[in-house]
Amino acid sequence: MITHILYRNMSQRVVFKLINNAEVADKKIIDLRQKLEEVKKIKVQEKIKHLTFENETLSVKVQQARNELIRLEIMNGKNQYPIPGKIITKALDAPPLKTDVQKEQIQKENKKKEKEPAKKLKENSNEINSTVVDVRKLDFRIGKIIDINKHPDADSLYVEKIDCGEGKPRTVVSGLVNHVPIEEMQNRIVMVLCNLKPVKMRGITSEGMVMCASSPDKVEVLIPPSEAIPGDLVICEGYPREPEAQLNPKKKIFETCAPDLKTNDDKVACYKDNPLIVPGKGAVTAPTLKSVSVK
């Protein structure tokens, strides 16, 4: 009898243990399923991010090819005009001309139109995509300073030759003599604003601007990512590149963008808190300055 009772108690303990183990196993399975779902979400987000980055990279390459084509056409004296749209005039719905006088009048009007100044065509061309004024209109590129000297007629200015991957170096005049020693500027990789209108500075034409982080007390030349090379395009996340061939000073595009060009708390150069990056290589940063203007 005692043996039977002991056996029964032991059987009950085994059953309880099995039930408890089953409950623990069920909880672990639920936890594993939740973790699996979280991993799936992370992987999907990573894939979306990767595809988005690839799309931006391809867009940059297309824009780079387009800009190079425009540059070559301009160098060869070809004007840039807008693609004409489909024009429908009232003349299409007009009744047939009935007299020679009407025909002669139409011919005179057509000849008059043909003699209109080409200036109007250029103005129309400049109006393409001109409604949006933000960082996408700025042509930031990576360059390398291959030669630098002090300006012969200005103690505070450097005259630099910068290779921006265009086959011919740009001449850039920078007011950095009092901020950066000349030996630190030699052979330096920099970010250059390339579509400013060329302007003479004390007799020497400057064809761009070396971008810097600037506070009231200090100016630092921005540092591109370590793998960047001359000719690399700089993009701003969220703003697909649509740079003007050359900025019109009257439109003040750079001046409009300038207040939103700053370094963040991580010293990364940004436009409206969106990083300036070289696709696939990294962000453009300042050596030490945080939350200051980029200019």
Confidence of residue 34 (pLDDT cuts 50, 70, 90): confident
The domains of the chain are located at: 1-76, 135-294
Q: What is the pLDDT of residue 181?
A: 95
CB proximity list for 256: less than 8 A, separation 6 or greater: 133, 134
Q: Residue 116: left if φ>0, alpha if ψ -120 to 50, beta else—which one?
A: beta
Mind listing the pLDDT tens digit for each residue in 39-59? 788 888 888 877 877 787 787
Confidence of residue 8 (pLDDT cuts 50, 70, 90): low
Give the pair of three-digit tokens for residue 89: 């005039």
Mind listing the pLDDT tens digit for each residue in 159-217? 999 999 998 999 999 999 999 999 999 999 999 999 999 999 999 999 999 999 999 99
> For the domain 135-294, what is the CATH code?
2.40.50.140
Mind listing the pLDDT tens digit for each residue in 111-169? 665 555 555 544 544 444 456 789 999 999 999 999 999 999 999 999 999 999 998 99
Closest CA to 291 of 282, 283, 269, 277: 269
The two beta strands, 282-283 and 274-278, are: antiparallel
Mind listing the pLDDT tens digit for each residue in 253-294? 999 999 999 999 999 999 999 999 999 999 999 999 999 999
Q: What's the rounded Cα separation, in Å, for the pair 135 and 272?
A: 9
